[in-house]
A and B are shown apart, each in its own frame.
Chain A
């Protein structure tokens, strides 16, 4: 009972601290929203177009690009300087300048040149993406020109004839097949990836703040309380830890429920997801106990705890998805509980797995928790026995 009472006091104390509330509840949600907005929505490359004064043929080219297989997202720009600046800063993948007089030049029998803008290192490859639409338009204009020259037809009539004929030309049909399994399924919703990683990142950070509490309890309260009440040290320590474990669990539940109901994030099999969260919170609590057992200065332990939480989060794929890591970091990442927990959620959500499918991840997390808790308990007992 006293364990629970201590845990409760610990929990209430934390929930009254506004800074803590911000870091436990608000910041993860803000990050999920921002991550989803920035990375979740769009997959098509963005093409900025400057086409002022390029006439009807310029508009035709833009239409051909918009309907092309690159599924480019087209944005209009007023000036080449704006376009260039956007490409430079990465807010566009590609820029295309269709020069003023494009239409008139082509109608007059001249050759026109459009300019593709992209960052160095990508420009030659992405140019190819624009190339097929340009080649198709070029073939149509060329055919119209020839018809004009040979038959004396008006250019517009010849152009209309070429467009009509283009549909009937056999040509080369290109069929595209998808191969392999998507790293990130397209139907998971824009907030899923962010929700998984932020849940893991922040639950661990919250658990790590327990280290400070543990040292404070050890240094200030324990001896006095031990002498004045029939409560054992073990009970007090266990209560403090249970309090922080409870906070991490409340935080986890809050993030999962809010993201599920407000942002439509799918967490997969509820039972398996629940067990995964509990296991991960246990690892976090174990890590906090180890820090709390070995450190002596509560301020330093607090800073160190946050630092460890952020470093492990980064390494374990809770900041940048592990799927974009290069080797050997992808393998090294699996020294962190974060990588295992996130892998578990990927299995639950992307592969529709259940408790059996995430058994390996649960096993590793369980073993980590057990080791950390054992090391911390031995060290703490020694400290207490040794005075």
Chain B
């Protein structure tokens, strides 16, 4: 094994001085991760909205709405501000300081109390659809509960005719009744990395393919320069040379990803999660990237061709694997297809770690990545030994 280590050590010394390698393995992914984290402010995945409320009625039912369901929204991430008139409320929505406004017109309470139809108007920003729909839903729920008494009276009367009792007593009973269906909420475990962590991880896995190629692609360069033949003339086996080159790829890839993980943690506040689990994910991902690069080298004739093919394969896998944009919005077929890429498994693992759990939670990802790594490395070694080593 020591000649393989010697080959790896020599190559690594050369790569440390290669500016292209440093740009592609470290500078570019860090820069892009930094840009993405600056562009997409942290916490954008938390729901936040401001509603402007105009109560032109002031009656008991309007107060019940404003002081009831609308007052208790703080924990939902919703701020409610009072506006003096409709123009101010509309202005807030247009100006962007509120996502939606609700206008309770004069006569609202009187209408509800006398069994007439009451109206409220919601003005919602077209660019805040969900915030508007949530407000609409809150008001509709309130409407259902105040109309519930009317509904109960109407239903009892319809079902039992006049013998069912007088409306006032039905209404009293309906009012006293608890809602038969209630809602409990349960937040799920967080398995989606925050955007700064996501982009740090996705850039790391995108560029590790470029970092890893430097090791094995140099085989083709050494063959062209004739140094490969010279190495093989010494008592070093072809397998040893290949292993040495593969080791360079793995070290370069691991160094690249580790630097990105550490730097984004320190500089961008990215939270990668349990270090042991991250290390396992990085190691298996690097193995897969190096194996894929070695397979490509086995099928390429020149360094340029190998570099070109690696770039193509890396970009296609990155697009399908969710490195450029999260695929959680994707149709099911695309989401399934993405599971054929190392990127998807690595990012899934990093997402799992957002839960704060340890290495156990990433074992499926680590297993798939490890298997992919072992298989591609094996195919690559066999293929490269036949195709690249001069006879």
Chain A residues at the B interface, C-beta cutoff of 8 Å: 17-20, 22-23, 27, 30-31, 34-35, 37-39, 41-43, 45, 61, 68-71, 84, 87-91, 95, 106, 111-132, 134-148, 150-153, 157-158, 161-162, 164-166, 168-183, 297, 299-300, 302-304, 307, 310-311, 314-315, 319-320, 324-326, 329, 333
Complex contacts, A300 vs chain B, CB 8 Å: 19-20, 23
**A270 vs B24: C-alpha distance in the bound complex, in angstroms?**
38
Q: Contact flags (1/0) for B139-179 with A, using CB distance below 8 Å?
A: 11111111110111011101110011100001001100111
B124, A176: Cβ atoms under 8 Å? yes
A118, B49: Cβ atoms under 8 Å? no
Query: Which of B125-133, B282-290, B367-375 participates in binding chain A?
Result: B125-133
State the 3 A-B residue pairs at the shortest beta-carbon distance, nearest first.
A19-B308, A151-B160, A172-B143
**Which chain A residue has the least Cβ–Cβ distance from B138?**
A128
**Which chain A residue has the least Cβ–Cβ distance from B160?**
A151
A137, B181: Cβ atoms under 8 Å? yes
**A239 vs B134: C-alpha distance in the bound complex, in angstroms?**
60
B127, A130: Cβ atoms under 8 Å? no
**Which chain A residue has the least Cβ–Cβ distance from B148?**
A139
Within 8 A of A (CB), among B67-125: 75-78, 90, 93-94, 111-112, 115-125
B183, A311: Cβ atoms under 8 Å? no
B334, A120: Cβ atoms under 8 Å? no
A314, B35: Cβ atoms under 8 Å? yes
Complex contacts, A176 vs chain B, CB 8 Å: 121-124, 132, 136
**A39 vs B182: C-alpha distance in the bound complex, in angstroms?**
34
A150, B165: Cβ atoms under 8 Å? yes
| Minimum Cβ distance to chain A for residue B365 (Å) | 12
Q: Contact flags (1/0) for B184-207 with A, using CB distance below 8 Å?
A: 111111111000000000000000
Q: Which of B24, B120, B156, B187 contacts A172 (CB 8 A)?
A: B120
* Cβ-based interface call for B269 (8 A): no
B185, A314: Cβ atoms under 8 Å? no
Q: Which of A90, A148, A151 contacts B192 (CB 8 A)?
A: A90
* Cβ-based interface call for B331 (8 A): yes
Contacts A119-B187, A179-B93, A180-B127: A139 and B38 contacting too (C-beta < 8 A)? no
A169, B154: Cβ atoms under 8 Å? yes
Contacts A113-B183, A138-B144, A172-B146: A179 and B155 contacting too (C-beta < 8 A)? no
| Minimum Cβ distance to chain A for residue B51 (Å) | 11
A90, B151: Cβ atoms under 8 Å? no
Contacts A138-B179, A310-B32: A123 and B116 contacting too (C-beta < 8 A)? no
B146, A147: Cβ atoms under 8 Å? no
| Minimum Cβ distance to chain A for residue B287 (Å) | 25
Query: Which of B8-16, B251-259, B310-318 participates in binding chain A?
Result: B310-318
